[in-house]
Amino acid sequence: MTTMSTIEISGLHKSFGTLEVLRGIDLAVEPGEVVCVIGPSGSGKSTLLRCVNLLEEPTSGTIRVAGVEVTDPDCDIDAVRRGIGMVFQQFNLFGHLTVRENVTIAQRRVLKRNRAEAARVATENLARVGLTDKADAYPAQLSGGQQQRVAIARALSMDPQLMLFDEPTSALDPELVGEVLAVMRGLAAEGMTMLVVTHEMAFAREVASRVVFMDAGVIVEQGPPARVFGEPREDRTREFLHRVLEPTRVSETEIGAHLPGNRGSGTDDPDP
């Protein structure tokens, strides 16, 4: 018997009108894996992630989550989503509810847990993200980093078998990124299966079991982080990593600019 992949994507295409955002994606995520998806903006990373729990309806292709085909029109998507936690770039905490209510409302309404049980799970998960003392605060009273940690606790309270992270630190002030990454690192260490779209290359390098590089709607290459970051095989990967990891070294010839009085920075490039 073969073990079942947590996510199995094959031949996934997605178009918005005439714009083809995903052009044939095949990807599997195994239980316990942390897969980081990197790539330039507009490459389709977020759309790929949002297809997994059907926030976006794929144009064609199939997606299975824990063996259930979510792309099947007869699939009970609400039931599947219960098992998939999702963390958004903009946190999306419910502004009219306190932190505790944010973490309990779906437990109560969807899982039908009683009040005491939901509160117990909420406290447990707020402790996991280090925010038990903020249970009675409203989201607007929290920093971005705290809001994102609450969002993670909210997702965890549904006991998901898979967590999706859609650029979870991109909307944060730089000094708040670390606290969110720390929580995610802890989750990875506990063995949570995670699919993470991120621009945090250091996080991907350190925590990911596999890095997937996407560009223009396709997976260009994937592999262990040491391999993808250390010796990328594709030119597009190399160029992207160069721009992301050494932004101050991007030369004007690379971007086609001709600035006077700034010679010698394009030494890698034989073209004057």
Partner 1 sequence: MKLSRRRRQRIARIGGYVVFALVLLAVAGSADWGRLSEAFFRLDVAGSMFPEAITIALRNTVAYTLLAFVFGLSVGLVLALMRLSSIGPYRWLATAYIELFRGLPALLVLFMVGYGVPLAFPDREIPGGVYGSVTVGLGLTAAAYMAETIRAGIQAVPRGQLEAARTLGMSHTRAMISIVLPQAFRIVIPPLTNEIILLTKDTSLVYVLGVTSTTIELTKFAGDSLNTRVNPTPLVVAGLLYLVVTLPLSQLVRGLERRAARER
Q: Compute the chain's Rg from CA coordinates.
A: 20
Size of the chain, expressed as the number of residues it contains: 272
Residues 125, 100: contact at Cβ < 8 Å? no
Residue 258, interface with partner 1 (CB under 8 A)? no
Please give the size of the binding site for partner 1, defined by CB under 8 A: 26
Vertex 258: Cα angle to 253 and 263 (nearest 5): 70
Burial of 2 (0-12, 13-18, 19+ CB in 10 A): exposed
Residue 96, interface with partner 1 (CB under 8 A)? yes
Q: Where in 102-141 is the site for partner 1 (CB under 8 A)?
A: 105-106, 109-111, 140
DSSP letter, residue 1: -
Residue 36, interface with partner 1 (CB under 8 A)? no
Two structure tokens written together for 227: 């391999």
Residue 246, interface with partner 1 (CB under 8 A)? no
Residue 53, interface with partner 1 (CB under 8 A)? yes
CB 138, min distance to partner 1, A: 9
Two structure tokens written together for 247: 């932004």
CB 86, min distance to partner 1, A: 4
Instruction: Count CB atoms within 10 A of the CB of residue 79.
Output: 10
Q: Which is nearer to partner 1, 14 or 81 (CB)?
A: 81
Binding residues for partner 1, rule: CB under 8 A, are: 53, 55, 78-79, 81-82, 84-86, 88, 90, 92-96, 105-106, 109-111, 140, 151, 154-155, 158
